[in-house]
Structures are given as C-alpha cells and as structure tokens.
Amino acid sequence: MWRNSLRFSPKLVTSNNSLHLSSISSSAANDVARPPLLSHSFSQSYSYSPSPSPSPSDSLKLGFQRPDGFRALSAATAVDLASGASKASYWARHYGRCYWELSKARLSMLVVATSGTGFVLGSGHAIDFSGLCWTCAGTMMVAASANSLNQVFEKNNDAKMNRTKQRPLPSGRITIPHAVTWASAAGLAGTALLASQANMLAAGLAASNLILYAFVYTPLKQIHPVNTWVGAVVGAIPPLLGWAAAAGQVSLNAMLLPAALYFWQIPHFMALAYLCRNDYAAGGFRMLSLADASGQKTALVALRNCVYLIPLGFLAYDWGMTSGWFCLESTLLTLAITATAFSFHQDRTTHKARKMFHASLLYLPVFMSGIMFHRLSDNQQCLTEENSESSVELSLSSQDRNVNSKNKLRNSTDRTQVRPPVSYASVAPFPFLPVPSYVSS
C-alpha cells in the first residue's frame, strides 16, 4: 500500500508540475503576473524540487501591482465617458442651434432693444438697471415663444419657400411637439418673470402681444394683406411694455416711440414684401405686393408712412421728452428715409426697394439712440416747465402793470375836468352873463 502511495506521488508531482508550468505559460501569454501558490504549497508539503520563494521586494511588488484587466476596464470606462461627453456636446449644440433658429434670435434681440428703450424713457431721472435686465430677459423669452409658435403654424408654408425651407421644422431637425414644448416653456417663463420682477401691466402686455402675434397675425398672413398692419401693431407694443415696466402706467408720452415703431414697420415690410414676392407667392402668403403688379400701391403706402414719421421729433421736443437737438436730428433722419421711399415710388425696381429696405434698417437704431441721448429727465422737465411758467408769469405781470397804469391815467383824466371856453369869457368881459356852475364829480 505504501508502495502504491509512493508510486502515485511522483505521478501526482509530475501532473502538478505540468499543471504549474501550463499555468505559468498561459499567464505569461496573457501578460498577467500571478504568484505560484499551488506549486509553493506543494513543495512545502512534499519537499520535492521546491521552487524558489519570492523575495520580499517581489512579494511587495506582487501585492501592489495592478492587474491588466483593471487597466483594460479603466481604459474602456474612459472611452465610454469620452464618447458620452462628445454625444452630449453634439446634442447640446444641435438643440441650441434649433432653439436659436426657432426663436429668430436676431429679430427677438431687436424687440428687446425697443423694449429696453421704452424702459429707459419711462424711468425718469433714475434708471433701475436690475429692473431693466429683468424686463429685457422676460421680453426675450416671450418674443422667442411667439416666433417659435409662428414657425410651428407655418411649417408647411416655410417648406415651400427658398428663404425658409432650411429652418428646423421644415428640415426635420426638430419635431413639432418638441418645438411646442419649447415655445410654451419660454412664453410662460417670460410672462411669469415680468409679472414677478416688473408689474402685472407689463406681463399683460407681453402675454397679449404673444397671442396677437401667434394666433391672429400668423393665420392672417394667409388670409388678407391687412396682416402687415396687424404685424405693425405687434411691433409697436414692446416699447410700451418697457415703459409700463418702468413707470407702472401708460401716459401720452409713452405713445411716441410705439408710434415711431408702427409707422416705421410699414415701409420696412413693404420693401421686404416687394423683394420676396416670388417666395411669398410660393408659400401661400397674402401680401399687398402680390396683388400690385406695378408696385405703385406698395410704394405709395411706404411713402405715406414715411411722411407720418416726420413730426415725431417735434412732438418729442414739444412734449418735453427730448431737447431741441433731437427735433432737428429726427427730422433730417426721417427726410432721408422718405427720400428713398420717394425714389422707390418714382422708379419701382428691386434696386430702389433694396435701398429703402437698408435705409429702414438704419433708421430705427439711430432714432432710438438719439431719443435716449437727448432725453430729458424728470428734473430737467420740471426746470423747463418752471422756466416756462415763470416767463408766463412775468409776461402776465407786465401786462397787469400796463393795464393798471392805463386805468390810473384814465381815472386821473376823469377827475380833472376841462372848463368850456364860455366860462372863461363870462368872467371879466361879460359880467352880465351867468357863470356856469360845474358839479364836481
């Protein structure tokens, strides 16, 4: 029995050694360093061809060395994180671009500029810059919402026009539910921001303007050419919104900048409608220029509204909003855009229409900059009113003094009565004549 066990032991050792060598070779092939625990334990048990024990430095190295599997796992995790970050960056840029185009960001920024100008004009002598920032932010959100809803309703029309067929909805870069969600969130957030940071009047004007633009003006573009005048009303409300946000009320002076916006938009859109007649016809929009083959009516409407802009500078000066310099500058500026409209009326070509369009683009920022630069604060307006009142009082007092002096002269002449010549003649030469008696009054 002992022999059998001794005979079996070399076989066991041999098999274990072969197993140990095969494991070492396989681990070397996989570049994985594993401690030879099985052979070491077996050599301690049987003392047969003991393998050299690892040194303390090797043991320390083996104890703290990272396996290659962990390295591979960490590398794969880094690759996944990098790919996830690149995908997140791509989608962020994609949707950011879509939201930018849905909002018509440049047009919305122009709306914000008009609202900010109205806020400055309605602020008086002290401008609340934090309130100005909140008002501009709320106006931007509401304008972005209105423009996004406009594109949702006009998706099929935009797909037929060369100028608009690459927008996010016609090109399929974003879905309609996504665009509606974005527009609703922006509109509600902007209205709530104006209600909380400005006042309810400004929030009501913003909400009403959104409804007027998205649900009245937008469908009316496919029904009747009067949509241009409705759109002009929409464009005139933002400066009134800014004034209401600053002053809390709407006065007669608050109507001057909205009037300028209203009359300015007519020649601006008439020029645009004339230049893009083919696109508007393909999209199914009803513009005045489509029913006016000669362009005479379009040019006449543009010229008439340019003439309406001329007295606004004088009204701003007469109502005490600006100095006299703005009256002169505004008149010259309005005469310049009126000259381009008259030139388009005389020669109805795309070149003249483009010149009028560019002049309208220049008019609005120069007008708003001038009215803010030359504006009079409340203190200056009070001083101007006091000076005018004092001058009126001085003129009235001088008139009163003149009237009093005249009355005194009249009374003195009444008291000193002049005797007729007969009385002088009746004293000495003719004593027999009775001397007339005078009753002193």
Tell me the average pLDDT across 297-312: 96
Is the pLDDT at 315 greater than 70, yes or no?
Answer: yes
Which residues share a beta bridge with 375?
Answer: 322
Hey, which of 63-67, 68-72, 141-145, 394-398 has the most confident mean pLDDT?
141-145
Q: pLDDT grade, residue 68 (50/70/90)?
A: low
Is the pLDDT at 416 greater than 60, yes or no?
Answer: no
Model's pTM, two decimal places? 0.70
Tell me the average pLDDT across 13-36: 42
DSSP H helix total and E strand total for the chain: 19, 0
| CA R_g for the chain | 46
Q: pLDDT grade, residue 33 (50/70/90)?
A: very low
Confidence (pLDDT) at 412: 53
What is d(CA 7, CA 141) in angstroms, rounded to the nearest whole number? 92
Confidence (pLDDT) at 219: 95
Confidence (pLDDT) at 76: 78
Higher pLDDT, 67 or 38: 67
Q: pLDDT grade, residue 420 (50/70/90)?
A: very low
Cβ atoms 355, 344 nearer than 8 A: yes
Is the pLDDT at 310 greater than 90, yes or no?
Answer: yes
What is d(CA 284, CA 203) in angstroms, rounded to the nearest whole number? 33
DSSP track, 216-248? IIHHHTTT-TTHHHHHHHHHHHHHHHHHHHHHS
Is the pLDDT at 421 greater than 70, yes or no?
Answer: no
Tell me the average pLDDT across 343-348: 95
Domain ranges of the chain: 91-246, 251-378
DSSP track, 282-317? HHT---TTTS-SSSHHHHHHHHHHHHHTTTHHHHHH
Q: pLDDT grade, residue 408 (50/70/90)?
A: low
Q: Which parts of 326-439 are beta strand (E)?
A: none
Q: What is the pLDDT of residues 149-208, one digit of tens each?
A: 999 999 999 999 988 999 999 999 999 999 999 999 999 999 999 999 999 999 999 999
Task: Tell whether domain 251-378 is in CATH 1.20.120.
Answer: yes
Phi first, then psi: give them for residue 46, nearest 5 degrees: -105, -10
Confidence (pLDDT) at 248: 92
Tell me the average pLDDT across 293-308: 95
Confidence (pLDDT) at 376: 86
Task: Tell whether domain 91-246 is in CATH 1.10.357.140.
Answer: yes
Phi first, then psi: give them for residue 375, nearest 5 degrees: -70, 150
Strand, helix or coil for residue 322? strand
Tell me the average pLDDT across 276-292: 91
Cβ atoms 377, 321 nearer than 8 A: no
